[in-house]
Every structure is written in structure tokens, then in C-alpha cells.
Chains A and B, each alone.
Chain A
Amino acid sequence: MSESDINKLLTDISNLREQLKEKENNLVKLMSNGCENGSNKYCANLNPEDITRYSRQMLVPEVGIDGQEAINNAKVLVVGAGGLGCPASVYLASAGIGELAIIDYDEVELSNLHRQILHNENDVNKAKVDSAFEKLQSINRRIKIVPLKLHADSTTIKELFKNNTYDVVIDGSDNVATRYLLNDVCVFNKVPLVSGSALQLEGQLTVYNYQGGPCYRCLFPVPPPPETVTSCGDGGVVGPVPGVIGVLEALEAIKIIIKSPGVLSGRLLLFDGSITKFRDVKLRTRNSKCAVCGEEPTITDLIDYEQFCGAAAHDKVINIDILDSTDHINVKELSTKIGKNNCLVIDVRPSLQFQMCRLPNTHNIPLTDLKKPESLDKIRNLINEHNLGENGEVYLLCRRGNDSQRAVTEIKRNMPDVTVKFLNVKDGLHGYAMEIDKSFPVF
């Protein structure tokens, strides 16, 4: 099948989908006629459809009529339409949160689908908030959903809080800078912050800034060193883990809205999926010397959070450039050499990534092992086996061409006696996939 056939089908499908959406919307409008908000002869404050729709949660005494009305009148901001934000917003929308705003700047990627349950195969490359909006609307057309395709930074968040009063904010973000930003804005506006996070098989959950409880800065006055922060893109994450945490974020938000006494404030819930264990630990109280929520705060307005954390407010990789211009080879040049007798390529990714996919005729020595004497011996042996001679070249390869630069530096430092040249493969395997062979899996 040719590329033009594929494109034509994609266009046809997208047109049909638009038509279907329009018809569905019309149907919902016609069917919900005479079902407007507000009082009616059977129930004072809720309309008949709402009573049926929300009956199963209203039957719970802790929710009841008052709780449901509070939920219907609530305004919640969900930051991130990813692994946490998707499950959280599904439950918030279906519970009837009156206005649900979702902020995210990213587009859907294939590698998101295993955990970001609102997005499907047809949404790849679409804005996450648009994809989320469509699905949430089809779950509950009686609430207002506000998709915000914005990068959450001091400017956008300040503007948002100037124009809106939120009852709860859900932190489903993926980086430290955004976590501090949301904490501070929630302290300034006296809004409880439901904060969840997940990585690999573990999750964490707590509620900050709630009824005199601690804020994020009370616990973490100083941001962590950037090299200690692992993203889902590097460390990986098993889908149900953010699923569990995101669902619990929605539960805490609902509990805050219905004024439940059991909100997870001043406590931290730890979930270890590897042994299926929940642990609930007691946290410190609000710190009277806290820089933002203390008695004499030193931070009274939003700051530059990327600068404060020394890290960008997203979980994407930032490219480095630490070598001389002569220390590189590009993927085109590499592709003409690879597989030949005297071409030695060392892939410095973690061994798990090497097992997932690799170029043929390459050798794996992870960057973290380059300090070990046995790794250096292995490199010496490979150089001999490949008959590289004094002026030979060794090519260092990784995912995006950053760790391979670090590897060049590390090897040069550890093997000053070796005369062959160590070169970085510019743009790494991503570059190879982009320029040489699209069938090489990118992740």
C-alpha cells in the first residue's frame, strides 16, 4: 500500500469521524430537551437526569444531596492530561464536577497509550487536552470541560488564577518545577493541592495546603539535585501504577469538595506496586518558617521555577554539547561504515534498552559501567579484535546523543594511553531512526 493510499484513508476516516461527532451531539441535544438545570417539581435543586446519573454516589450518606450539589458547583483544575490526569479526570467528570479545566501542552504519543487512558490510537499527534475533552464530554455532557493547551508556567498559571476560583487543584504533572509552581499558587490562593506522582512500580500521594496542613515547601524547602530526578521516559512506569494514584487523586478531590473529615492531609500515602503494599506515613505539621506558607513568608509572588529548580518544567530531555566539533560523526556517515570489519560501535545505553532494540554489529557497555576496570578491558579487547590500529575510530552511540558525549569524555579520562579516536554519534539512535531508517523503534 502506498503512502498516498494511507493518507487518503486517514483523511476519509477523519471526515467521517467529524460527521459522526456532529450527529452524536445533535442526538444528545434532542434527547436532553426539557432537562435543563435547576429546580423542577420532583426535586428542589437537582434535575431528574442528574438524580439518576449520580444516584449511586448520592446514595452514599457521606455524599448525599448536599455533597452532590457541592460537586456540581465545584471547579477543579487538573494539571497534566497524562498518566495521572487521565484517570483523575475520568472520575471527576463522571462524578459531575461542575467545571473541570485541564491544562497540558503536549501532544499524544504512541508511548503514552499504555497509561494515559483517555487517549487512543486515533489521537496520536493530537493535543492531549483536545483528546481528553472529547472523551470526557462523551462521558458527561452536563458539565463544563475547559481544555487549556498551555504550558503551565508562572505567567499562564497566574492569569488562570486571576480569572478563576478553583476549589481544588490536581497535580498530575511530571516535573519538579511545576510542582513548586502549583504549590505556591495554591498557597497564595488558599486552594488545596492534591499531589500525586508515579514511577516504575511506585506511587506517592498527599494533599498539601489543606486546613492548616503542610505545603510542598514545608516538606521540601530545597529542590532536589536535578540528577536525582528520574522521568517516566527514562525510568519507565507500569500503567496501572499512575492509574491507582490518579484515581485516588480524584477521590481526595471529591472528599475535599464534600468536606469529608478523612482527607489525606499531613499524611503521605506510599504505594509499592511490586509487592502491592500501601503505606500511610505521618508528615510534619505546617512549618511556621516556611518560605511561602509560614508566618513571615519570603516568597509572596510566583517566581521563575525552572531557575529555582535548575531544571526545565517538562520531562523531556535537554540536549547537551560538551565535545569539540571534531569529536562527532553523524548518523549518515555511521550508516556507511556500520557492519564493516573495522567499524567498532559501542552502545552506551542501559542494557535493558539495548535488549529492546539495537543496531546490528554494535556492542553494549552502559555509561554507568564505564568506570569499571572490566569495562575498560572490554573496550581494549574490542579495539584489538577490530584491528583498529593507531588512528582507528570508535563510535559511541546512545538514545539521543547526550550520554554518548558523556561516554566520550569518561573514556578519554579513564584511558589516556589509548591512541584511537573516540567519536560521538550525533543525535544517536533517534537521529538514525529519523534520517536513515524509520523502522527503527523510537522511544
Chain B
Amino acid sequence: MKIKVDFSGGAELLFGNQKHHEVDLPVKDKPWLLGDLLFWLKDNLLQDRPELFLQDNSVRPGILVLVNEIDWELMDTINYEIQLNDSILFISTLHGG
């Protein structure tokens, strides 16, 4: 299943410093949940320091997750069922000024 995964605000540094990824998720029996994607990304795309991406089965504090530009809190977070062509965005919040 093809989806788009984007990283910004520095989260891309954990993923080979690449902001945009075209991802093709392997076929599986059950639907792909957003929670599954987190671990798939950790095992397949993450290049460095998993603790800076995941904590306790979710993203670490300071990272916002957006599904098609909508906060995942409005989409049932890790239980959201991923659809073909979805765009998932991980934003690390910035603090500089």
C-alpha cells in the first residue's frame, strides 16, 4: 500500500536527513494502523537513535503526528486505519527564536 511520509522540524534528521518519503507498506492480513506504521518506520526507515522517535509505543513528547494535515488526536491516534495514498507528517516542534 503506497503512502507518503514526511518529516519536518528536525525529525528528518533521524531518517537520513530526508524530509519526503514515498513508502510502500507490505501487504498484511489485518489493516495497517498508525501504531503499526510507527514500528515499521522504526525498523525500516529510521537510521539513528530510536528513543528520539518513539517512547512507550507512541512518538516521543514534542513530535506532532498529522494524518492528511489533521492532528492525529482527531483521528484516534495509533488506532487510525491507514488508507491508500494517505499523507502522514511527523513534525518535531521548534523552540528557537
Query: A228-B60, A284-B73 are contacts. A172–B97 as well, Cβ < 8 Å?
Result: yes
Using Cβ atoms and an 8 Å threshold, which residues of chain A touch B89? 281
Min C-beta distance of A235 to chain B, whole Å: 7
Closest chain A residue to B52, Cβ basis: A228
A230 x B73 contact (CB < 8 A): no
* CB of A242 closer than 8 Å to a CB of B: yes
Using Cβ atoms and an 8 Å threshold, which residues of chain B touch A220? 61-62, 93
- Residue of A219, A223, A279, A285 near B64 (CB, 8 A) is A219
- Residue of B61, B66, B71 near A224 (CB, 8 A) is B61
B74 x A284 contact (CB < 8 A): yes
A237 x B96 contact (CB < 8 A): yes
Query: A223-B61, A232-B96, A270-B91 are contacts. A282–B8 as well, Cβ < 8 Å?
Result: no
Min C-beta distance of A184 to chain B, whole Å: 16
Using Cβ atoms and an 8 Å threshold, which residues of chain B touch A197? 93-97
Closest chain B residue to A80, Cβ basis: B97
Name A349-385 residues within 8 Å CB distance of B: none
- Residue of B10, B62, B95 near A174 (CB, 8 A) is B95
* CB of B9 closer than 8 Å to a CB of A: yes
A173 x B71 contact (CB < 8 A): no
A270 x B8 contact (CB < 8 A): yes
* CB of A262 closer than 8 Å to a CB of B: no
Closest chain B residue to A266, Cβ basis: B71
A315 x B91 contact (CB < 8 A): no
State the A residues within 8 Å of B (CB).
80, 82-85, 171-176, 179, 196-200, 202-204, 219-225, 227-232, 235, 237, 242, 268, 270, 272, 279-285, 315
Nearest 8 Cβ contacts at the A-B interface: A224-B62, A284-B73, A222-B61, A197-B94, A199-B96, A232-B96, A84-B97, A174-B97
Listed A/B pairs (13) with beta-carbon separation below 8 Å:
A174-B97, A175-B95, A179-B95, A200-B10, A220-B62, A223-B62, A224-B93, A225-B52, A225-B60, A270-B91, A272-B8, A281-B91, A284-B73
